Amino acid sequence: MKTEKVINPATGAVLAEVPCADKEDIKRAIAQARRAFDHGPWTKVSLTQRKEYLLKIAQGIMDRAEQLAQLETKNTGKPIKETTFMDIPSSAKTFEYFAHNLERYLKSKRMNLDSGAQSYLFPESRGVVVLIVPWNYPLLIASWKLAQALAAGNTVILKPSSLTALTALELVKIAKEAGLPNGVVNVINAPGATVGSVLCSDSRVDMISFTGSTQTGQEIMRLASSSTKKLIMELGGKSASIILADCDLETAVGGALTSIFLNQGQMCTAMSRILIDKKIFSQFVEQFVEKAKKIKLGNGLDSKTQMGPLISAQQREKVIAYVEQGKKEGAKILCGGKIPQSPELKNGFFFEPTVFGQVDEQMSIFQEEIFGPVVCLSEFSQEEEAQRLANDSNFGLACCIWSSDLERAKNLSRKINAGTIWINTYGMFYNEAPYGGFKQSGFGKELGREGFLEYTRLKHVNLDPSGEKPLVSYWYAFG
Ligand code: NAD
């Protein structure tokens, strides 16, 4: 089998070599998942047993938490604090949450209808579900998708990004150790462009849950249309933070920094546009830039590191091209904008935290997803202007509002065209709460009851309990 090298982005060195699937391997994986769903023991497993499998996976993740955190940091470059306290425990908690709630969410519902008829609604498994995961949260997003798909009784084919397959491969091992029947969880490692056409157009696949760029999402929608699959699309973003003049400035500055520089800005929900009330603009900018300059870059394994490298040389090139474009279009760099020069960083794909001032809404850095540590600062005079600027985007993933007037912030949140609004906080994901974007940020939800039910199909059974002859039985009787 062909293999592919996985690179440590902090050092540029080869971290591992992993098998790389070809089109025939994918066809085999689909056949295996199909067989396991149609003929295997999996669909006959009780809900209590299903819950036990999920709890074992959660435990398996926590048993290897330290090793997984190290591996995720080496593979993605993100600081060890992030993987240790966020990615790994959150992954385990998602399995736990859906284990404890699957029975409740899968309950059928009886409806008594006005006519005296009855309806029953049954959430059923969908069948074979393809789970396609990006490189920015390799284990966490794989866990969201796998936990929900399995809790709903599906069989799956997991496709991590080939840049960051290592923790996904560990996750599949953990699922196997939990004793899941053969063929229920399959994994494919390969570049998306090579395998996407087979994986996404095969009529044996019932659903695709995709997280990644809008461009790839559009290609997958095209591929999936020939066999009319259920899709969830969690796509790109260009989210805005709105800093109202009545905010607690220190809290807003700190929150805004995290909302763009966490994970090197490689977050779909990165608040890459910060809209600041004119009354506090200069104070905010001064504090924000001063703090951005102090962010410590380094190898994510060093506990003092606050920001790691970008995922690849190619991703850094893309970010640099945007920075150059921003300069050309007349935006002013307030800090960063360069590859850091210190010798210990020279082999990694590092880039300085970069802050642009004087950004005009027409500029490409204000409109397009950069997916790196680059932020645009703009000012507004009236709340309506902030609302208009925040909504002036093809994307609609998320928004932050910073204000000490919660009623005002809540009112404003209703006018923002985005799937998630955070008020005086950022990046909080809850297993109980659905998450997903509007506009070109996609459709469908992940997490919560609504997200979980995406992985099911709803059957409607209708009956007439009256014992009387219904209208349909004598419709043609008097012809
Ligand atoms: P990407 O679209 O390049 O790749 C995502 C996944 O799709 C990878 O596994 C890749 O191998 C696969 N893929 C690529 N081409 C394919 C094809 N033709 N058919 C099938 N699969 C294919 O995205 P990325 O660079 O890995 O991740 C960054 C993007 O993901 C950003 O745009 C970011 O906003 C988005 N993202 C969105 C969310 C969300 O929840 N909305 C979360 C994380 C990341």
Express each pLDDT in 136-191 by its tens digit. Answer: 999 999 999 999 999 999 999 999 999 999 999 999 999 999 999 999 999 999 98
CB 187 within 8 A of CB 169: yes
Percent of the chain exceeding pLDDT 90 equals: 95
Active-site position among 268, 376, 399, 400: 268
CB 463 within 8 A of CB 118: yes
CA 320 – CA 292 distance, rounded (Å): 18
The CA-based dihedral angle spanning residues 376, 382, 387, 391, taken in that order and rounded to the nearest 10 degrees:
-50
Closest listed residue to residue 30, CA positions, set 169, 200, 149: 200
Phi/psi region, residue 211 (left: phi>0; alpha: psi -120 to 50; beta: rest), is beta
- Residue that the structure tokens 């065209």 belong to: 417
Q: Is 378 in the pocket of ligand 1 (CB under 6 A)?
A: no
Give the three-class secondary structure for 231: strand
At residue 386, what is the residue type?
A
Whole-number pLDDT of residue 470: 84
- Residue that the structure tokens 């805004």 belong to: 256
Residue 228 to residues 33, 134, 156, 168: CA-CA distances in angstroms? 19, 23, 18, 28
Whole-number pLDDT of residue 1: 80
- Does the structure show a pLDDT above 70 at 479? no
Mean pLDDT of 18-47: 96
Give the three-class secondary structure for 250: helix
- Residue that the structure tokens 């060093």 belong to: 302
Catalytic (active site) residue 399: no
CA 451 – CA 457 distance, rounded (Å): 12
Catalytic (active site) residue 268: yes
47 C-alpha to ligand 1 centroid (Å): 32
Whole-number pLDDT of residue 118: 95
- Which H or E element spans position 18? strand 14-19
User: Using 50, 70 and 90 to split pLDDT, how confident is the model at 475?
Assistant: confident
Whole-number pLDDT of residue 295: 98
| 253 or 473, which is more confident | 253
CA 409 – CA 313 distance, rounded (Å): 40
CA 63 – CA 61 distance, rounded (Å): 5
φ, ψ dihedrals at 265, nearest 5° = 80, 5
Q: What is the pTM of this model?
A: 0.97
* Residue owning the nearest CA to atom 22 of ligand 1: 192
Query: Mind giving me the DSSP string for 52-108?
Result: HHHHHHHHHHHHTHHHHHHHHHHHH---HHHIIIIIHHHHHHHHHHHHHHHHHHT--
pLDDT tens-place string over residues 66-122: 999 999 999 999 999 999 999 999 999 999 999 999 999 999 999 999 888 999 999
What secondary structure letter does DSSP report for 297?
B
- Which H or E element spans position 422? strand 420-423
Which residue out of 23, 145, 148, 161 has the highest number of ligand 1 atoms within 8 Å of its CB and is therefore the one to mutate?
161
| Domains contained in the chain, CATH given | 3-235+441-462 (3.40.605.10), 240-423 (3.40.309.10)
Residue 217 to residues 130, 156, 164, 244, 319: CA-CA distances in angstroms? 13, 19, 19, 34, 21
CA 379 – CA 149 distance, rounded (Å): 43
What secondary structure letter does DSSP report for 146?
H
Closest listed residue to residue 273, CA positions, set 244, 247, 238: 238
* Residue owning the nearest CA to atom 21 of ligand 1: 192
Mean pLDDT of 25-48: 97
344 C-alpha to ligand 1 centroid (Å): 30
Which residues partner with 402 through β-bridges? 243
